[in-house]
Structure 1
Amino acid sequence: MESASSTAFSFALRRSSSTKLGEASAGSVGRRTGRPCVRVSALSYRQFVQFALDETALHTRMTPSPLQERFGSMKPLDDKTEIELLSYKAPKIRLLRSLSIQGEKGLQVLDFAMLPEPEYDLPIFCANFFTAAETNIVVLDLNPLYDVIKHKDYKDKYYGDLMSLGFKYAELLPWGGKLTGESLRFFSPMVIWTRFKSSQHMHDILYSAFVDYLKAWLVLMDLGIRETDASRIIANREAQHRYLTWRAEKDPGYEVLKRLFGETHAKNVVRGFLFDGVDSLGSKTFLDYFPEYQCEEGRVNEKRSMIGKSFATRPWNRKGEFIENCND
């Protein structure tokens, strides 16, 4: 794979960063889509969503996804929790979707992703934030379509120019504890995996990281060249399907969704909204991709790690090279 031009990347990143933090044009997506802007509190994740929609609309033409009609009006079982499900598509984006939850006792959830069309081997923008009382659990990444430990050409193509950005925030948002080897296959060297106690200062750092990571992904999207080789498109589709199949099976937020929607609706949200494509991009099952999880009776083993490795510290150096001996 050819690396994106460093000069073009730097120029595009400077251009997309011309908007100051927090100054995304309020209401621009509202004017494009008819959706009004949301008034948010200082610690609301909806601020993140509003910025993402406004910034993305500056780069591409967004239209509501068909999923919006199906899921956009879903309501929780209780009347104390606010939920917003949004979904869009664009020429290079198969699905931009967002699930945000605001509940009692400080409960907040944001699950935001942008998945490329199979004609592009772009990473998948992923932001999974969970807040309860004073605890925050965060994953922010440009998830690689192909395992960057095995595919150095893919790592160099998409992350070579971004490692300084990743380590800037790795120092501000330290590694959050042991991470299984299975999960690591779906993360990039610039992943932010962290835990912290709630404060305005930490929330501001997280918002800044979200803004910078989103802008970096949009630059990669702008530079993305449509694939014409049928075999590469098929490979991209299967790689994305594999990712979605893993995420749908191992989604840590499923129990929260089950409490809010009930079991049937929660499963529909996971497979039909959060990880749309798991039932349409391919026909392989979870056990086809990950046979090591099969129990004797044929069901999926619910154990979190079958490899037996866990990583207590960041397993990549500043060049994005995997550090094999930093596992427990």
Structure 2
Amino acid sequence: MSETYHLPVLLKSSINALVIDPGGTYVDATFGGGGHSEEILSRLNEHGRLYAFDQDIDALENARDDDRLKLVHGNFRYLKYFLKYMGIGQLQGILADLGVSSYQLDAKTKGFSFVDSDVFDMRMNNRAARTALDIVNHESEENLVNIFSSYGQVRNSKTLAKAIIATREQRPISNTHEFLNCVEPQAMGNRARYLAQVFQAIRIKVNDEIGALQDFLVAGADMLVPGGRLVVLTYHSIEDRIVKHFMKSGRTEDAENPLLSLNDQWILKPVNKKPILPDEREIKSNKRARSAKLRIAEKISIA
């Protein structure tokens, strides 16, 4: 485990929520620094198995040598495909810690942060085709408005989109600094909060985070045994709303893909009526925990 890569949030609460069977099969859908995986492994016996996913190849370097642990370099949206390929039929529990790791936020070459970033990239998987620069330089004004309003809840998304178009008409935006020079004059209210919303919106678009989350929720829940637990940590209202809705209904909100909205085999039952939040002590020791919400659901078969 690497605490310098990412300090796990609500560690004990999230692992306790899995109600681990020592001989069961589990998934850590977002390996990161390996903190959650290490805690899961500590509760498994020699027959237990853990499959850990991460699309960032750098994260997999944090793994320890353990025969019970299988690492998968891939997006968690393809969880079912990878597990079926490896001969895994059902799972006792799945954990996902959504969002960006501390390492990704702090790495200058990743471009996730508006503070001290060199390259405006934002790809969680460096093999992905589109970068943040591609988005701001090539998306239409209408698409930019939709990205900033839908994924960042930016209030003046139209004004911001027009400013980006005007800037790139002079010359293409080539780095984080140039993008900030374009965005900062448009900032409303608290500067840091505004920039965080803008950068969040672009990151979500670059990595198709909403689509990936919806795919993951359906595939993951489908692979759980009856009584299996789905445990998810969210960090902003957009993803939290999706997870909350799914755990209550077993359905996603994706109107464009009806296959994701149809389910007559099982339902999910929320375990906690309200999300579990980090206490003041944890927030003080890890400021990135302040927006975390832990949601838990149990699968119930109705077939």
Q: Same fold (TM over 0.5)?
A: no
Give the TM-score taking structure 2 as reference length. Answer: 0.30
Give the TM-score taking structure 1 as reference length. Answer: 0.28
